[in-house]
Amino acid sequence: MGIFEAVNQPNITSPKGFRAAGIHAGLKKKKLDLGVIICDVPATSAAVYTMNAFQAAPITVTKLSMKESPILRAIVVNSGQANAGTGERGRNDALATRQKMADLLGVSADQVALASTGVIGEYLPMDSLLTGLDQIINQADQDPDRTFAKAILTTDTCTKLAEAHVKVDGQLVKIAGVAKGSGMIHPNMATMLSFVTTDAVIEASDLQALLSSTVDDSFNMISVDGDCSTNDMVAVMASGLAGNKPLSPAHPDWSNFQAAFQYVCQELAKLIAKDGEGATKLIEVEVLGAPTEKLARVVARAVTSSSLVKTAIFGSDANWGRILCAVGYSAPGIDTERTDIYIDSILVSKEGGPVDFDEEEVAKILNRENVLIKVDLKQGEYKATAWGCDLTYDYVKINGSYRS
């Protein structure tokens, strides 16, 4: 094992102490629509939330839980209805859901977190949801069919999972993650839900700091369509059953654990970007030579968020001017006469101007499923990477009939 080992068949229940399940409770017509992750011991926990001012009821209730104490025993997730824009009734429904799961587990209500995804402005069918919780509590196990990952999907075309193993104090520590997200994806998170489990021993404050910093280099670096949702959340639970000494930045194995944790989050983020609604290509934008890390991130996100860049990539058009334009409006103070642009390894613009390149060769690169764009500002030592997807005809079709 190197710094860490990536796992080919990831499962959210791989870390010690976790169970999960997903069922069809009747919130959607046929597909799985209710999921739960349960920890058999009190789990040290952390979370980050959407920046949208209209935060959905499950977000506000989860914040309440986490404010009381950063300890969780379960996360309940439904798809179909977002329980956003639902006012006092929506909040009461979320509180009732939290209390029901707490009663089933025999724990306090503040040890249950909630997440919802689906149509905004529709009330939850509470009879179906609460009955579903009675059913799912008995099914939660190692979840070999990954039913939880399926139950949280909306317009996603596939499940999204990642896992890594790392040695800490000679003990095997596992980190596993699951996510959903396909549309309404934009930096500062989006209609994106992600849940990470680990059996590491780690204090809540260190876990929260790790999650917050990692999100900046993973989930906050993706874009599909430029819309920031009301419901997105990333939550992590640590069972502490791996038997290592408590992790902190002072621990000798901290950097290895941090690398494994970042791998899981970045893999999930890339899977979300690649599965953008109607998408055919994953776009990776690497910005080099920036004067600050913040500017590198801003420029990378601007390029992945540009509708004109996205459509050019969809059409396999080497229109580097659109990339240059996005760089310019995201960082108006840069020296434009020093910026180079590459598509994969081919230089398509030098020092802010045109350069001869093989159009056919670049078109072949743009026809790939994964497209790499490099922007070298040549004005510093900082870099950042962002991910997005192309913008296709199918995106309009999917979102033109989302509620139906």
pLDDT averaged over every residue in the chain: 91
- End residue of a domain, out of 274, 300, 324: 274
pLDDT value of residue 1 = 67
How would residue 155 be classed by pLDDT, with cut points 50, 70 and 90? Answer: confident
C-alpha distance from residue 319 to each of 107, 168, 214, 342, 354 (Å): 57, 48, 32, 11, 11
Give the DSSP H or E segment for 372. Answer: strand 370-376
Residues 6 or more apart in contact with residue 277 via CB below 8 angstroms:
155, 182, 183, 224, 225, 394, 395, 398, 399
Q: What's residue 108's pLDDT?
A: 97
40 and 185 housed in the same domain: yes
- Examine the domain organization and report whether 372 and 231 are in the same domain: no
Q: Which residue, of 240, 274, 308, is where some domain finishes?
A: 274
pLDDT at res. 55: 87
Residue 191 annotated in active site: yes
Would you state the pLDDT for residue 185?
A: 41
Whether residue 265 is found in the same domain as residue 297: no
Range of the domain at 335: 282-400
Q: What is the pTM of this model?
A: 0.87
Q: Indicate whether 117 and 68 sit together in one domain.
A: yes
258 lies in the same domain as 335: no
Residue 326: which CATH number?
3.10.20.340
Same domain, 229 and 299: no
How many whole angstroms separate alpha carbon 47 and alpha carbon 234? Answer: 6
Q: What is the pLDDT of residue 223?
A: 72
* Gap between the Cα atoms of 216 and 211, Å rounded: 9
Q: Of the residues 50, 154, 191, 214, which is catalytic?
A: 191
Q: Same structural domain for residues 12 and 104?
A: yes
Give whole-number Cα distances, 352 to 1, 161, 328, in Å.
44, 40, 10
Q: Is-contact 100 137, C-beta < 8 A?
A: no
Tokens of 55: 């935060």
**Any idea what the Cα angle at residue 205 is, between residues 213 and 295, rounded to 5°?**
15
299 with 251, same domain?
A: no
The pLDDT assigned to 2 comes to 79
40 and 116 housed in the same domain: yes
Domain count within the chain: 2
Can you tell me the distance from the alpha carbon of 295 to that of 175, in angstroms, rounded to the nearest whole number?
31
* Burial class of residue 332, CB neighbours in 10 A (0-12, 13-18, 19+): exposed
Decide if pLDDT at 110 tops 70.
yes
- pLDDT tens figures, 259-280: 999 999 999 999 988 876 667 8
33 neighbors 79 (Cβ within 8 angstroms) = yes
Sequence-separated (6 or more) residues with CB below 8 Å from residue 91:
57, 60, 61
What is the CATH number for 201? 3.60.70.12
Answer for the pair 377, 287: CB distance below 8 angstroms, yes or no.
Answer: yes
- Would you state the pLDDT for residue 400? 61
CA 47 to chain centre: 12
Please identify, among 229, 255, 274, the residue that sits at the C-terminal boundary of a domain. Answer: 274
Tell me: do 270 and 367 sit in the same domain.
no
Same domain, 200 and 295: no
Evaluate if residue 183 carries a pLDDT over 50. no
Which 3 state secondary structure label does DSSP give 98?
helix
CB 211 within 8 A of CB 249: no
Please check whether residue 165 is in contact with residue 172, taking contact to mean a CB–CB distance below 8 angstroms: yes
The confidence band for 305, taking pLDDT boundaries of 50, 70 and 90, is confident
- pLDDT mean over 116-131: 94
- Same-domain pairing of 112 and 176: yes
Answer for the pair 383, 289: CB distance below 8 angstroms, yes or no: yes
